[in-house]
Amino acid sequence: MSKMIRSIGNRAGILLAAFAFAALAATPLRAEVKEVRIAKGFGIGYLPLIVMEHEQLFEKHAKAAGLEGSTAKWLVIDGGTTQAQLLIGGNLEVSSGGLGPLVTIWARTKGSLEVQGMASINSMPLYLNTINPAVKTVRDFTDKDRIALPVIKSSIQAVILQMHAEKVYGAGKHDTLDRLTVSMAHPDGTSALLSGKTEVTAHLSSPPFQYQQLKDPKVKRIFSSYEVVGSPHTFNLIWTTKKFRDENPKSYAAFLAALKEAMDKINADKPKYAKVFVDFTKSKLAPEFILEMMNDPEIRFTMAPEGTMRFAAFLNKIGTIKQVPATWKDMFFPEIHNLPGT
């Protein structure tokens, strides 16, 4: 009797295992997102993302990966800090912005949401320009001056201003100029500066706005961020959460493939994509003016991050982040670790 019971029990166990396996096989794998929400800002720094949108490159590579019907939803949101908050809140899949905000959000989400960089999208210098004839260096600013930048204290422009302030005023004085800063999107800051009718007498922005400003004879440059940092550095990057990358591997790979294709197209035919920028953004600037900037050797469209460790070290020094990455690779997902980043 006991042998019969054991035999029945064994057969039942086998049947239960078979049913469980069949049920598991019948359960569909978690589907990848159908729509990837991506934020970008203003200026030619975002040209690779503009080309991706213009030529629907994400959709192309997603379809090739078997993600039929997968689309990208593009949002224009100035300021990497603002975008980072939307990403943390689950309102974006991919965020873009400056190097300072990436370093900060990487440090603050380490061990939790795990936000990391996907890739750089350019290396560009940022200029501090002024219309105040009395200002030769930042020491000449007074309480009557205001310096426009995308987001006070946390944008890459704000971090660069703090880096310069510490060089000028000494250790621990990085926030000396913070009281003069105001948050303004690049187009608004440019309009305010050039009008000469507002409290804004200086603007720390990005291409093409800084070059557009310098065409006006009353505008002069105080410094370039390359001078402040001591080397070329990444301006804009893209980043996302570990959760999005883990749950959407095909979408993630399709995005990077689309980004690389966009950069290859730009670098192969700059005149064409200077015109694409003007047409797509409805810019009033001439394509020849945009092309002149794109041909500047200091402006490069590259996926390799540059200068990240200098920013991380500074932000740690002033207490914005508690931990310094061992290498730049700690802040970026593995797919670009083969690139010559710094």
Q: Which two tokens stand for residue 226?
A: 């390359």
Domain boundary residue among 174, 198, 229?
Answer: 229
Domain-located, residue 201: yes
* Residue 52 belongs to domain with CATH number: 3.40.190.10
pLDDT score, position 116 = 97
Report pLDDT for 77.
Answer: 83
Distance, C-alpha 110 to centroid of its chain = 18
Total Cβ atoms within 10 A of residue 250? 15
**Tens of pLDDT, residue by residue, the chain (342 residues):** 444 434 434 444 443 344 333 433 433 456 899 999 999 988 999 999 999 999 999 999 999 999 999 999 999 987 667 787 888 889 999 999 999 999 999 999 999 999 999 999 999 999 999 999 999 999 999 999 999 999 999 899 999 999 999 999 999 999 999 999 999 999 999 999 999 999 999 999 999 999 999 999 999 999 999 999 999 999 999 999 999 999 999 999 999 999 999 999 999 999 999 999 999 999 999 999 999 999 999 999 999 999 999 999 999 999 999 989 999 999 999 999 999 999
From residue 88, alpha-carbon distances to 46, 74, 80, 111 in Å are: 21, 17, 12, 14
Angle, in degrees to the nearest 10, between helices 99-109 and 308-317:
60
Q: How many Cα neighbours within 13 Å face the side chain of 306? A: 21
Q: What pLDDT shows up at residue 82?
A: 79
User: What confidence score (pLDDT) does residue 156 get?
Assistant: 94
Identify residue 260 by its one-letter amino acid code. Answer: K
Query: Domain limits at 115?
Result: 35-124+233-336
Residue 21 belongs to some domain of the structure: no
Q: Which of 171, 201, 229 is the last residue of a domain?
A: 229
Domain boundary among 174, 199, 229: 229
Rg (CA), the chain: 24
